[in-house]
Every structure is written in structure tokens, then in C-alpha cells.
Amino acid sequence: METRNIFENISCIDHRYSLSEAEVFNGLSKYISEEASIRSCAKCEAALVKSHLKLRGKLTDEIAQNLDKVASEIDPAEVYAEEEKTKHNIRALVNVMKTKVSAEIGPLVHLGATSVDILDTALSCRMRDVTKNVVLPELKKLEKHLCAIADRDAEVPQVGRTHGQHAV
């Protein structure tokens, strides 16, 4: 049996059932896995830091790129290990992120935010992105397939139906 990084799984049964639909799994995993959740929260934290720096007139392209890099490369296993100590998911993420940015930027991570601010914003962004990049393209493919079936079978005689059953 093929194994996969547990943080990429979408549900606890992925290791058993998702291998036959690898393309769909890979598309969804980018947005709705635990790894995606942690990285999305990290992106929200990075955006918050960039906003603080921009308001202070201290945001440079280099700092912005570094924050984006930190957020996109955050290691879920490292966050989980920190959560064992803190017993709080967002506090763990913040602690890990602070180790990856400069001492001047560290105090700005999570400044003025609640855990729910980060979690809800991250979830909204992930749902927007999975809808745009996975769900709608799949629905478009389904629509085209259904139209092809309708075109192919448009002239096939059928039994009349009324109220969900064959007409009498």
C-alpha cells in the first residue's frame, strides 16, 4: 500500500480510498488538507505582518517575499510538535513563525489578531480557492459530459413518466 504524508490527507480514510483518484485527491489536498490549513493560517499571519509594516512605511519587497516564503514553507510537523507544548494550534503556529523571521518582525506576528480571525480568514481563502480551482472546473467537465450524453441520446425513444413513475 502506498503511504502519504499524513498532513496531506483530506480525511482519515484517504490512505485506503483516495489512491485510485490521485488527480482529484491532489487537487483537493492543496486546499483542504491539514497541511493546507496550517499553511493558509501562516499566509494570513504573513499578510497581517505585511499590513503592520505597510502602515509603518517599512514594508519592502524583500521582507514581503521572505514572509511569503516562510508561510508557504511552514512545516506542519513542526507546528504540531510545538502544539504539544502550547496546547493551542494558533499559538504553536505563531511560535514557529517567529523562529523563522527576523527579531524585528517577530513581535508583529499575530499582533492585534485573535485565533478566530486567523482561522476564519484562512478557511474563507481556502474555500474560495478550492471552489475556483477545483470544484468549478470539475463541474464544468461534468456539465460538458452531461450535455454530450443528452446530445447523443436526444432521439432515443423513452417510456413516458409522470410523478416519477412510468405513465399509465
pLDDT in tens, 83-140: 999 999 999 999 999 999 999 999 999 999 999 999 999 999 999 999 999 999 999 9
CA dihedral sign of residues 132, 120, 99, 35? negative
Which domains can be identified in the chain, with CATH numbers? Answer: 34-154 (1.10.275)
pTM of the model: 0.81
pLDDT in tens, 4-51: 677 777 776 565 666 677 788 888 889 988 999 999 999 999 999 999
**Whether the Cβ atoms of residue 108 and residue 52 lie closer than 8 Å to each other:** yes
In 3D space, the residue among 81, 78, 90, 77 whose CA is nearest the CA of residue 118 turns out to be: 90
The Cα 60–Cα 72 span in angstroms is: 18
